[in-house]
Amino acid sequence: MGTVTGPWKQLLLNALESNAHLKDSSFFQLATIGSNGRPSNRTVVFRGFQGNSNKIQINTDCRTHKIEELKHCPFAEICWYFTNSWEQFRINGKIDIIDASDPDPNKLQQREKSWFASSLKSRLQYLGPSPGLPCLSEEPDPEFLDPSKGPVGAFCVLILDPDQVDYLNLKSNQRVKFTSGLSVNGERCWTSEGVNP
């Protein structure tokens, strides 16, 4: 099955470029559904697209609550607002978790590539105490991190495969909904519809 670039992706690339001077342009909110049925939201860092695809990459610690939430329900939504261009992207889709136990060698290679693309400071976070647990009075110093060694066990990569994108431009007062589906020959295709802001 072929990969078709979503027509929304160029809008997102343009927004990233026009907001590149703002440090917060690489941050967005990721909402998941908790095992209790309630929404759960946090800010994460955009780590690029997977290859030339539409799939959005996020690095995270496999000990965080979002992992158990995604295992319970793999659907999530990104909300990304660009303050300079007044554009919002709400990107909905299914998330694939790539951790150390993944049987697919290509995914493990992607995980390793993502690890080495991260800064040493970022990598050190995965050696700290488990996120979300109470702080101990004396936290141990993080272990020494060999910069040439591959990913530690706590490191995993989330790959969001979008199937719906809601684009809003507040400067032009334009809103477009993009939806992914399958064509008659089984190829993935995107449709778009202008809607009221």
Looking at residue 128, what is its pLDDT? Answer: 81
Query: What pLDDT is attached to residue 148?
Result: 87
Using CA atoms, how far apart are residues 148 and 116, in angstroms rounded to an integer? 8
Residue 138's pLDDT is 58
pTM above 0.85?
Answer: yes
pLDDT at 139: 55
pLDDT at res. 1: 42
Question: CATH says 7-131+146-195 is which class?
Answer: mainly beta
The pLDDT of residue 145: 74
Tens digits of per-residue pLDDT, 77-119? 999 999 999 999 999 999 999 999 999 999 999 999 999 999 9
What's the pLDDT at 4? Answer: 67
pLDDT given at position 152: 94
Residue numbers in the chain where pLDDT is lower than 50: 1-2
From residue 131, alpha-carbon distances to 45, 65, 100 in Å are: 17, 8, 18
pLDDT at position 109, please?
Answer: 96
111 φ, ψ (degrees, to nearest 5): -60, -45
Per-residue confidence (pLDDT) for residue 2, from 0 to 100? 47
pLDDT at 11: 96
Sorted by where each begins, the domain ranges of the chain are: 7-131+146-195
pLDDT for 184: 85
